[in-house]
Amino acid sequence: MVGIFSLITGLPGPSGFGSASTAEQVTEGIDASNLTAIITGGASGIGAETARVLALRGAHVIIAARNMDAANEAKNLILESNPAARIDLLKLDLCSLKSVRAFANSFIAMNLPLNILINNAGVMFCPYQLTEDGIEMHFATNHLGHFLLTNLLLDKMKSTAKATGIEGRIVNLSSIAHLHTYEEGIRFDKLNEQDGYSDKKAYGQSKLANILHASELSRRLQEDGANITVNSVHPGLIMTNLMRHSMNLMRILMVFTYLFWKNVPQGASTTCYVALHPSLKGVTGKYLLDCNLMAPSRVARDKIIAKKLWDFSEKLVQLTR
């Protein structure tokens, strides 16, 4: 477990890494040349850094992005420093279930294996709005889109793990913000209501959903005997485009909390660690911060709510076909 002291000082925890570790440092010496990875939101911020480092370690990386111009730019930057990098781009708008299905079909048509799925993309502190599917934006983009995407790609991941004998890994990017959600945790009965809406709590709700999703999926895969792990991570406080709806507030906050903030290479470290590091073999259903195990909130550990969220999400996905 890691504490505030480790967070501020950057001192390594039990894993040998800490808040000051970078994505390159935590993957040093790892050969990922036999792996294929999908990274949602891989066109900018910590997603782009994750794509760069996985490609640096030899993985075939598929960047899933809404903005294809930004994705092309990210790809070209990676190729400038690593001409041998294997990068493909596919369009994905996670707030549209139609787009998620189209992406999954496009990827499966490529006839590639799939070892790693990193559910990285997200929105943060949006004003109240519903998606084209009639779902609250944070929940739709941060959780439901990834829930559907993961389910559509699970058979491919299972068959890859079975054929290769290599453990598949799914990484959900959550946040410590999962602690700051609505009183009931997930507003199952009034998910899309504007009354009582809070952009901060809606974000926290979606990040709580990321952990609950990982927990329940992990349980199901273990029950099936599938060679796939599922974990969720808090990347840390990083100034990226994710904060575009509250940039001024975040800059003020940063003045008072600068000791807690990370740069992008540090922000991508826990994702890359969980995706590639051999010490995480067989570790599943966990929540990690600064490359070390951390206990999430009590609600995030509630298996009954995790199951309820799964059933709720399944119905939402089916209703919007």
SS (H, E, C) 29-47: CCCCCCCEEEEECCCCHHH
The rounded distance, in Å, linking the Cα atoms of 203 and 187 is 12
Q: Which residue has the higher pLDDT, 64 or 244?
A: 64
Question: Each residue of 170-222: pLDDT tens digit?
Answer: 999 999 999 999 999 999 999 999 999 999 999 999 999 999 999 999 999 99
Please, what is the angle between helix 199-224 and helix 303-319, to 10°?
A: 100
For β-strands 86-91 and 228-234, DSSP reports them as unpaired
Question: Each residue of 145-155: pLDDT tens digit?
Answer: 999 999 999 99
Determine the pLDDT at residue 69.
98
Give 14's DSSP letter. Answer: T
304 has pLDDT over 50: yes
Determine the pLDDT at residue 237.
73
- Residues that are catalytic: 197
Determine the pLDDT at residue 319.
58
The rounded distance, in Å, linking the Cα atoms of 92 and 193 is 26
Helix, strand, or coil here: 152? helix
Determine the pLDDT at residue 250.
47
Determine the pLDDT at residue 49.
98
What residue ranges do the domains of the chain occupy?
4-319
Question: Each residue of 206-216: pLDDT tens digit?
Answer: 999 999 999 99
Query: Within 10 A of 260 (CB to CB), how many other CB atoms are there?
Result: 15
Note the CATH number of domain 4-319.
3.40.50.720
Residue 46 is encoded by which pair of tokens?
């910590």
Question: Each residue of 41-67: pLDDT tens digit?
Answer: 999 999 999 999 999 999 999 999 999
Predicted confidence band of residue 244 (pLDDT cuts 50, 70, 90): very low
The whole-chain average pLDDT of the chain stands at 91
Q: What is the mean pLDDT of residues 24-37?
A: 98
Q: Is 41 left (phi over 0), alpha (psi -120 to 50) or beta?
A: left
Length of the chain: 321
Q: What is the mean pLDDT of residues 277-289?
A: 98
